[in-house]
């Protein structure tokens, strides 16, 4: 059984951040679950252009408000607490936090190791 609190991971290599985002990787590849789970905050006003070419991602919004724009279709979806969105086609997208910090619980498949930050194209590499 794995039991961990996000505060235990703050300031460790599993506490990753970049411009406009901070993510605590609570379950990672090394835990052997086949997916990773992250507590992620997008700073109010931040706009992130992302494309997880090597991963599928599902996000559950816990707090804040924002929007996700599908760059393939041009459609923008509002995001608020209680909403879930999944990038099931490795969708290139723009994520914006529009009212308060956007607090998300994120699941990645394949799992991240825990210390990754975004590549220039907004993706993560798959690492052993």
Please choose, from the candidates 12, 47, 2, 23, the residue with its C-alpha nearest in 3D space to the C-alpha of residue 112.
23
pLDDT band at 84 (very low <50, low <70, confident <90, very high): very high
Q: Which CATH superfamily is domain 15-109 in?
A: Jelly Rolls (2.60.120.10)
* pTM metric for this prediction: 0.91
Query: Given this model, what pLDDT does residue 121 score?
Result: 81
Per-residue pLDDT of 94-125, as tens digits, reads 999 999 999 999 999 999 988 888 888 877 87
Each residue of 21-79: pLDDT tens digit? 999 999 999 999 999 999 999 999 999 999 988 899 999 999 999 999 999 999 999 99
């Amino acid at each position: 059984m794995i039991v961990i609190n996000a505060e235990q991971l703050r300031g460790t290599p599993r506490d990753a951040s970049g411009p406009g985002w901070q993510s605590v990787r609570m379950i990672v590849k090394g835990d052997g679950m086949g997916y990773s789970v992250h507590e992620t905050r997008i700073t109010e006003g931040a706009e992130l252009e992302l494309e997880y070419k090597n991963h599928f991602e599902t996000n559950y919004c816990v707090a804040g408000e924002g929007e996700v724009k599908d760059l393939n279709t041009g459609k923008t979806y509002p995001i608020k607490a209680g909403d879930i969105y999944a990038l099931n086609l490795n969708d290139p997208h723009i994520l914006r936090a529009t009212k308060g910090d956007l607090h998300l619980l994120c699941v990645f498949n394949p799992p991240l190791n825990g210390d990754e930050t975004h590549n220039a194209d907004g993706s993560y590499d798959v690492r052993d």
